[in-house]
Structure 1
Amino acid sequence: MVNFFASTLLNLALFQGTMAAPKVYPVVIPGPGLPSLAELNLTSAQLYEMGVPEELSARGELLGKRFEGLCGPAEAAYTNVNGLIACFNYLRNLGTQSCVAGENTVMCTAGDAHVYGHALTGTAASYCSDVALGLLWVIDHCTRPDQSCAGAQAANGNGDLIVGGYNIRW
């Protein structure tokens, strides 16, 4: 009888393990005027699960000194880095699509992570993949051990378009 009971518990545990609920991710919302996830044939889950490609991580160093990247500015600005990574993947997938920024232009939102573009003079535009590389610098340089992140850096090749990732709505 003890063996039957133990066997039943083991089968129940195995069954429950196979019935695990799918992981749920916050919705990734493109900024106004940018293509939807459906138009790109992507889902929020895919953008979260892509992670940051290791080969791109080193490219964050190519941004140079056009703008002195910064982390923060305040504790309240920090958000979970995974939302910023999902937005990085969204922007990177836009490739040569033009990302245009004025003052605090929303480019992507994922959960409580908000990615903004800010033109230092009027309006500025870059390939969205270059905006993604500015965000990659923030991810690479501003992520704390608790996986929170906030900061700003110039879009790759454009010191007039600053990309920021925060838990702040402007």
Structure 2
Amino acid sequence: MAKFSIISAVVALLAVGASAAAAPAPIDEFTPGPGMPSLESLGLTRKDLVEMGRVKIPESYNAHRTRSALLSGKRAEIASIPTCEDNYKLPKAGAQVCINYINALGSKSCAVSGGFVQQMCFDNGAAIMGANIKNLPSVASACSDVAIAAQWIYDNCGIDGTDMNAGAHFAQGNGDLLISIVPT
């Protein structure tokens, strides 16, 4: 498992998330990240995304630690990935909408080029971000593999039926692309 300063990674993700939304959108507005297709171009609506349910996670990817072992928060100097951040809370509904949007893109490439972090989706106070943790010219995975990581975070970092903690996990099969769900 990769180890790095979780505080610097989360701060970077949150900073990009905050700067990506210069003017706050209404709380229920769905917004794809830069370069990502619109719902209209996919023939989908936000309602379709809500009704899709959860993404199936392959058992081999799902074989990780229990939630209590994932919580690191400010107590840790370094943290293992996957992780849940118990000092960041966000609504689950927006996270699942974004997960389903990214999954609907299927084998399309979800890439982070150049910069360290890129917002992939925003909805209802939640953002899914991709981080190029080795600062390569570009990192990419099939969007369905990104959705698996995001669904794993959603499933394992939940607080209750309404809220969840922020979290991070690598895109399935790609240790260079760190996926995070963070508050906006």
Structure index of larger Rg: 1
- The answer for the alignment partner of 2:83 in structure 1 is 70
Find the residue that maps to 1:42 and give its secondary structure: coil
Inter-partner Cα distance in structure 2 for 1:70 and 1:85: 18
* Contact 1:60–1:136 (Cα < 8 Å) also in 2: no
Find the residue that maps to 2:145 and give its secondary structure: helix
* 1:142 partnered with 2:157: yes
1:130 to 145, 165, 173: 145
Pairing of 1:1-170 with structure 2 (within 5 A) = 26-53=28-55, 56-57=56-57, 59=58, 61-62=60-61, 68-74=81-87, 77-101=88-112, 102-122=115-135, 123-149=138-164, 150-168=166-184
Over aligned residue pairs, what C-alpha RMSD do you find?
A: 2.0
Gapped regions of structure 1 (runs ≥ 5): 1-24
The AA in structure 1 aligned to 2:34 is: P
Gapped regions of structure 2 (runs ≥ 5): 1-26, 65-79
Inter-partner Cα distance in structure 1 for 2:59 and 2:42: 25
CA deviation after TM superposition for structure 1 residue 49, in Å: 2.2
Find the residue that maps to 1:117 and give its secondary structure: strand
User: Please, what TM-score do these two structures have when normalized by structure 2?
Assistant: 0.69
* Contact 2:93–2:124 (Cα < 8 Å) also in 1: no
CA deviation after TM superposition for structure 1 residue 147, in Å: 2.5
Moved over 4 A (4+): none
In structure 2, relative to structure 1, the CA distance for the partners of 1:64 and 1:159 (3 Å cut) is: farther
Inter-partner Cα distance in structure 1 for 2:174 and 2:127: 20
User: Identity percentage over the alignment?
Assistant: 34
In structure 2, relative to structure 1, the CA distance for the partners of 1:156 and 1:63 (3 Å cut) is: farther
Inter-partner Cα distance in structure 1 for 2:41 and 2:63: 33
User: Please, what TM-score do these two structures have when normalized by structure 1?
Assistant: 0.74
Inter-partner Cα distance in structure 2 for 1:151 and 1:37: 25
Judging by fraction of residues, say which structure has more strand: 2
